Amino acid sequence: MATFFETLNELMAAETPLVTVTVVDTMGSAPQDRGAKMIVTAEGLRHGTVGGGKIETKAIAEAQKMLRGELQDTTHFVQWNLNKDVGMTCGGIVKLYFEAHNARRWHIVIFGAGHVSQALTTLLVHFDCQIKVIDPRAEWLERLPKSPKLTPVQTSDMPSEVAAIPEGAFVALMTMGHTTDKPILLEILRTRRFPYLGVIGSKSKAAILRRDVAEVGLPEEAQHAFFCPIGLEIGSSNPYEIAVSVIAQMIAARDAARQESA
């Protein structure tokens, strides 16, 4: 039978969202000693125990709230009176520590695998995020950095991938040009809402895209629902400097969204 740490390493390597629960203190009568541990995934208890019965059921439910994003913090302590808070006959107190891993992963979807996308993904693989890069060109997808955080998708119908983008993802359009960016952008504006949507290009391209949005009858607010030019107004046209400016803009949008939800 695998140990706690063997199971944890296996799940972490597979990037499975999980919560570890540890008994850090007890007072009086408690079903487990300090140091008892368990691992909880979205499906339920994966390994270990913090006492079984009602206390374990309550702890699993608390861990799964973290995995669903119902609790803002990725770590927290609880202290339960086993009689009053859990409904057990023993009158002890237990303190548990919950720590989420691979949960609330930052999803970033990039359409296009060209020079700026290559620079952007090379930097993003060092962040706690999951990246998908979509492009019809196999030779460009093959140049992307190799990482378990990055999934390349080859397709000649990039707009059809919009429906599969995870809720809350950050989306960047960096395809071969206006002709290929436009249908993806219109599909997103018609059907989805994301906390960040950016399109690479100049101010002239931005004006053309906003005209395109108006011509298909989308509301006026849709014309301002994306960043173009993409990124902060810093640096030069070097792909890596553009990538840094895009990541900075994404981080600012991410942190603003988290503060608003909190």
pLDDT digits (tens, 9 = 90+) for 5-16: 999 999 988 878
Structure tokens at 10: 């296996």
Is the preceding peptide bond at 229 cis, omega within 30 degrees of 0? yes
| DSSP letter string, 230-257 | -S-S-S-S-HHHHHHHHHHHHHHHHHHH
Bridge partner list, 108:
131, 170
Do both 15 and 86 map to the same domain? yes
Q: What is the CATH number of the domain that holds 160?
A: 3.40.50.720
Which of 78, 70, 61 has its CA nearest to residue 24?
Answer: 78
Scored b (16 or more CB within 10 A) or e, 221-241 reads ebbeebbbbbbeeeeeeebbe
The answer to whether residues 168 and 253 belong to one domain is: yes
Residues 87 and 81: their CA atoms lie apart, in Å, by 9
Stretch 216-230: mean pLDDT, rounded? 95
Tell me the residue range of the domain where 119 lies: 106-261
pTM above 0.85, yes or no: no
State whether 159 and 254 are in the same domain: yes
Tell me the pLDDT tens digit for each residue of 15-71: 788 999 999 998 887 788 899 999 999 899 999 999 878 889 999 999 998 887 777
One-letter amino acid identity for 222?
A: A
Residues 229 and 137 in one domain: yes
Note whether 146 and 94 are same-domain residues.
no
Q: Are 169 and 243 found together in one domain?
A: yes
Residue 262's pLDDT is: 56
Q: How far is CA 82 from CA 13, 28, 172, 173, 258, in A?
A: 35, 10, 49, 53, 34
Q: What confidence tens digit (pLDDT) does each residue in 60-94 have?
A: 999 998 887 777 678 999 999 888 887 877 778 89
